[in-house]
């Protein structure tokens, strides 16, 4: 799910502040910030229709909702980060439910189930060489309660990601509306 322009701009400003203390991070460009329910990996184009049908089934009965993008953190921990993120507070329970439905629907098609519990977030950057970084941990702690924006989640999109020298390029292949 792509974020609205205002939320991406506020998150982009947060990334710029973090960039000053963490130069060893590959930061996501603001225009590419998004919420991911499930990563599928390489998928044959011939499977797109069955995936979209599974997404329709997963989304059936789920009402559109609002999500608040709030707080900064890192996986696995802020003191030893690999992925820097902005969290989702309000709407997180619905996103977790929706991600579970998507995971179940796609498992029927043979896609591996997620090994870890789903944690709704927007990836802001990936640490190139993971290590202890007290300055970054302090900067993340300073953004723990900050709200970056609200997003109306009215659909689930099947996205294609292609790597390029400028980072990932995203193309929407199909969208499934929520009720």
Is 121 one of the annotated active-site residues of the chain? yes
- Over residues 103-130, the mean pLDDT reads 96
Q: Please indicate whether residue 23 or residue 178 has the higher confidence score (pLDDT).
A: 178
Q: CB-hemisphere CA count at 13 Å for 91?
A: 20
pTM for the structure as a whole: 0.92
Asked if 84 and 72 touch (Cβ cutoff 8 Å), the reply is yes
**Cα–Cα dist 144/37, whole Å:** 22
Asked if 43 and 144 touch (Cβ cutoff 8 Å), the reply is no
**Cα–Cα dist 33/85, whole Å:** 10
68-105 tens-digit pLDDT:
999 999 999 999 999 999 999 999 999 999 999 999 99
Is 24 one of the annotated active-site residues of the chain? no
pLDDT at 164 over 80: no
| Residue of 8, 34, 70, 101 marked active site | 34
| Residue of 8, 38, 101, 121 marked active site | 121
């Amino acid at each position: 799910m792509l974020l609205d322009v205002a939320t991406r701009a506020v998150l982009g400003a947060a990334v710029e502040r973090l960039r000053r203390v963490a130069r060893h991070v590959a930061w996501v460009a603001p225009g590419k910030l998004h919420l991911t329910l499930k990563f599928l990996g390489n998928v044959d184009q011939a499977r797109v229709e069955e995936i979209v049908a599974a997404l329709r089934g997963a989304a059936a009965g789920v009402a559109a909702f609002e999500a608040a993008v709030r707080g900064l953190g890192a996986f696995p921990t802020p003191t030893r980060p690999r992925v820097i993120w902005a969290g989702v507070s309000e709407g997180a329970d619905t996103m977790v439910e929706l991600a579970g439905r998507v995971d179940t629907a796609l498992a029927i098609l043979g896609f591996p189930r997620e090994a870890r519990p789903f944690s709704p977030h927007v990836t802001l950057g990936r640490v190139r060489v993971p290590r202890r970084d007290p300055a970054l941990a302090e900067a993340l702690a300073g953004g723990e309660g900050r709200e970056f924006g609200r997003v109306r989640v009215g659909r689930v999109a099947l996205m294609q990601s292609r790597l390029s020298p400028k980072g990932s390029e995203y193309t929407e292949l199909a969208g499934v509306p929520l009720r």
